Structure 1
Amino acid sequence: MEKFSVVIIGGGPAGLTCGITLASAEGKFDFVEGNEYLVIYDEYSDLDKALLNNVPAVQKGTKGKELLERIRKQAEEFPSLKLKKGKVVKAEGEKGSFWIKLEDGSEFTAEYLVIATGFHKFDIEGLDVQVVPHRKSPRQGKIMIKNENGKVREGLFVAGLVAGVPTMYACASGSGAEVACDILSEWAGKTVVVHDVPDSD
């Protein structure tokens, strides 16, 4: 059974951004050296049906499905970040010892768990979370997991639409980056963000 520092359930903008942000800290902070991260993504993301005309730095008219593929390829460039296609059916545990099971029987363990499964439904068994109506969805019947600034409890975080952010790409992606920084900050014992700067001329 493979063990990861963080397992992220959901491979849309929030989940992928969270994974990329965590993995991009390698080489910048000693406390992340040797850590490994896993993003588990299902067949479908809301981004698959999006047309992006109002996202900064993303060309107007970009199809969400194409952008999602580019983000996945970017994620694969980080040695410490793995992507796995599959459906999570059960997860349980607490900080330091989460256990995750997929429909195909694969099992993983993690020190931290991030849920980024969107706002349509939450059907993963085993986690003691409170599912409530989404607070910022323009459509009725959408859900979120009750949290405080992305944290459900120690070691368990939510990112993106399931965290209750507005249903836009930039909001979901930013939520994923924020959760990653919060986890890094816990490890560091102080506030941490991950920046790169160009080499000076």
Structure 2
Amino acid sequence: MHNSPEFDVLIIGGGAAGLSCALVIGSALEKPFAKDKKAGIILHQKASHLNSALLNNVFGIPPGTKGSDLLKEGANHLKNLYHEMEQIPGEKVKEIREVEDRFKVITNRNEYFSKSIVVAIGYTSPFRISGLEDYLIPHKKAKISKNRLQLKNEDHLVKPGLYVAGTLAGWRSQYSIATGSGAAVATDILTEWNDGAHTKVHDKLS
């Protein structure tokens, strides 16, 4: 047996799609169907396009909000409200391997195993995570001159246990689209954990 940390789901990338996915999954970890699940996010944010973004046209976000501030606020939001979602900061994923019935995620510092993974990094070329080459194709919704990439997928699913979210899933680079993509993946994973019963997480005023 290996001694590396093991997860039921591990999200790779702490940008809009990754954080959105983590927040929705984190909000469900106290539900009966998820009480024994271990979830984490490798919170690499340096390459996120949000670092240079100024958000003026996003519903629910005050105009003039800096994307770099949202990255920090999102990580704090996740930590303060859903601390069961383990945050792994300061690491960069180098390789993903399939090992028996799970995935091995190798970073510049550690190795992790997870039954499911969500790849939510950007769509920039060259693609810097080895092990996913077989799924890489030219991005279908970006200018050819930009040389953007995506992972082949059907409704965010690349293959069983391997999800992709945000621009790397083939969506356009728009903040609200990326967050929606991440949330959609989260509800797909929660549905799987909940024995296929379609699952979403809503909080309501009492």
Q: TM-score, normalised by structure 1?
A: 0.93
Moved more, 8-17 or 84-93: 84-93
Q: Can you give the 5+ residue segments of structure 1 that lack an aligned partner in the other structure?
A: none
Q: Is the alpha carbon distance of 1:95 and 1:31 closer, same or farther for their aligned partners in structure 2, counting shifts above 3 Å?
A: farther
Aligned partners of 1:90 and 1:126 also within 8 Å:
yes
Q: CA deviation at 1:94?
A: 6.1
Query: Is the aligned partner of 1:173 residue 2:176?
Result: no
Aligned partners of 1:95 and 1:156 also within 8 Å:
no
Query: Is the aligned partner of 1:93 residue 2:98?
Result: yes
Partner deviation per Cα, 1:64-87 (whole Å, 9 max, x = no partner): 001111011011121211222211
Instruction: Please tell me the residue identity of whatever aligns with 1:16.
Output: L
Percent identity reads 36
Matched residue SS, 1:76: helix
- What pairs with 1:154-173 in structure 2 (closer than 5 Å)? 154-173=160-179
Q: 1:25 aligns with which of 25, 28, 34?
A: 28
Partner deviation per Cα, 1:29-51 (whole Å, 9 max, x = no partner): 31100222111133221000000
The separation in 2 between residues aligned to 1:113 and 1:21, in whole angstroms, is 15
- What pairs with 1:58-69 in structure 2 (closer than 5 Å)? 58-69=61-72
Q: 1:40 aligns with which of 31, 35, 42?
A: 42
Question: How many residue pairs are counted as aligned between the two chains?
Answer: 197
Q: TM-score, normalised by structure 2?
A: 0.90
- What pairs with 1:1-201 in structure 2 (closer than 5 Å)? 1-27=4-30, 29-42=31-44, 43-77=46-80, 78-84=82-88, 85-93=90-98, 96-104=101-109, 106-121=110-125, 122-127=127-132, 129-138=134-143, 140-188=146-194, 189-199=196-206
Moved more, 171-180 or 112-121: 112-121
Matched residue SS, 2:177: helix
Q: Can you give the 5+ residue segments of structure 2 that lack an aligned partner in the other structure?
A: none
Partner deviation per Cα, 1:121-145 (whole Å, 9 max, x = no partner): 3221223642111111246201111
What is the RMSD computed on CA atoms of the aligned residues? Answer: 1.5
The separation in 1 between residues aligned to 2:201 and 2:134, in whole angstroms, is 29
Q: Is the alpha carbon distance of 1:151 and 1:183 closer, same or farther for their aligned partners in structure 2, counting shifts above 3 Å?
A: same
Partner deviation per Cα, 1:8-62 (whole Å, 9 max, x = no partner): 11110001111111010123x3110022211113322100000000000100011
Q: Is the alpha carbon distance of 1:129 and 1:22 closer, same or farther for their aligned partners in structure 2, counting shifts above 3 Å?
A: farther
